[in-house]
Amino acid sequence: MRAAAPHPGPEGPVSVLTRRAEFLAAARAFRQGKPGFALQGRPRGPGEAPEGIRVGFTCSRKVGNAVARNRAKRRLRAVAREVLPGEGRAGWDYVLIGRPGETAARDFAALCADLRAALASVHAKAAAR
C-alpha cells in the first residue's frame, strides 16, 4: 500500500495518522461532535515532531457495511483536504470519526462548515486549558 503524500498548506503539510497509538492519543484529548462527524484533536507534545498537521479517519461498523464505511471515509478525506490546510494548526493531530447515516448523506458544503466550526471549538478548548 502506498503512503499518502503530504498536502502542502499555509500551516505546513498535512500527513496521515497510521499507528493505533496516535489514534488513542487523539481520543484522550479534545473532542467536538457535529452532525456529520465527530472531531478529536490534540496538540503534539514536546517529544514529538512539531511541524505539519496530521489527520486520521475512522468509521466503525455502525456506519454500515464496507461500501458505506469507505464512502464515508472518502468524504471525510475530501473535507479534510479542503479545510485543514487553511484552518488546521501545525503541530496538531486530528481524527475525524464518521457518523451512521450522516457522513455519507450530508451536503459537502455543510461538512466543510462543520469541520471549520469543530476546529474552532477544539482550538478554543485547548486555549482555555
14-16 and 37-43 beta bridge pairing: unpaired
Residue 96 dihedral angles phi and psi, to the nearest 5°: -105, 130
**Three-class secondary structure of residue 56 per DSSP:** strand
Provide the number of structural domains found in the chain: 1
**Three-class secondary structure of residue 5 per DSSP:** coil
* Amino acid type, 16: V
Inside any domain, residue 110: yes
Q: From first to last of its 129 residues, what are the pLDDT tens digits of the chain?
A: 444 555 554 445 788 999 999 999 999 999 999 999 999 999 988 888 778 999 999 999 999 999 999 999 999 999 999 999 999 999 999 999 999 989 999 999 999 999 999 999 999 999 988
Structural domain that includes position 123: 14-128
How many CB atoms neighbour CB 82 within 10 A?
A: 16
The answer to whether 23 and 82 have CB atoms below 8 angstroms apart is no
Inside any domain, residue 4: no
pLDDT number for residue 12: 53
The CATH number covering residue 40 comes to 3.30.230.10
pTM of the model: 0.87
